[in-house]
Amino acid sequence: MELTINKTRLTLVQGDITRQDTDAIVNAANSGLLGGGGVDGAIHRAGGPTILEECRKIRAERGSLPTGQAVITTGGNLKARHVIHTVGPVWQGGHSEEAELLASAYRESLKLAVSMRLSSVSFPSISTGAYGYPVIEAAEIALKTVTGFLRREGSPEEVVFVLFSEPVQRVYEQTLQKLMQEMKD
């Protein structure tokens, strides 16, 4: 599924984010920045040790990365030249500012991409794996936040959501269709 928002091409695809050739891919990291399971593990495995070296440096300089914030490293051996590491919230039932923190993770990643003059960025479905965020709610926050940012800022030129499974891709597609319909009404 593909559409244009302001000047940006927004695409939803099913796949493995480590294979994307956008300028940056976003990692659903944890605050420790030293790797983990899920998409984090896949990115470090595919990108090689230079990503972890840069993460260690960042950690040594500024400590652990707070939830909702983002930092950037090299893409190492990935096709993407950069990895933007952000930390989504752990789902705790919905009353611990999870929605705002998840929106912040997307927004801060996009801000960093724009400040680095990157023209294309790929996102995974942040927080919906090990962190347990319900996919329907997370998809709505992800897509509202990203489309809102693109409407206001007009960049980056291309944003791709790379959804790992077909059911998750379907939820994102239905959510985006609903949001676009609401925009028209």
- Catalytic residue numbers, as ranges: 40
Segment lying near ligand ADP (by CB under 6 A), choices 65-73, 108-116, 120-128, 139-147: 120-128
For 43, the token pair is 């990115």
Contact 162, 20 (CB under 8 A): yes
| Inter-CA distances, 84 with 55, 68, 75, 118, 180, Å | 11, 12, 9, 11, 27
| 172 neighbors 134 (Cβ within 8 angstroms) | no
Q: Is 112 in the site for ligand ADP (CB under 6 A)?
A: no
Range 19-38, binding ligand ADP (CB under 6 A): 28, 38
Q: How far is the CB of 165 from ligand ADP (least distance, A)?
A: 6
* 82 bridge partner residues: 24, 74
Q: At its nearest, how many Å lie between ligand ADP and the CB of residue 40?
A: 6
Strand partners of residue 13: 162
Nearest to ligand ADP of 17, 51 (CB atom): 17
Binding residues among 81-100 for ligand ADP as defined by CB under 6 A = 88
Q: Which two tokens stand for residue 44?
A: 């470090």
Rg of the chain (C-alpha set): 15
Query: Which residue in 24, 76, 113, 131 binds ligand ADP (CB under 6 A)?
Result: 131
Q: Looking only at residues 35 through 64 of this chain, which bind ligand ADP when binding is defined by CB under 6 A? A: 38-40, 42
| Residue 60, Cβ density class (10 Å: 0-12 exposed, 13-18 middle, ≥19 buried) | exposed
Question: Smallest gap, in angstroms, from Cβ of residue 130 to ligand ADP?
Answer: 4
Which residue stretch of 108-116, 144-152, 159-167, 176-184 sits at the interface with ligand ADP (rule: CB under 6 A)? 159-167
Residues 6+ apart with CB under 8 A from 148: none
Interface residues with ligand ADP (CB under 6 A) are 16-18, 28, 38-40, 42, 88, 124-131, 162, 164-165, 168
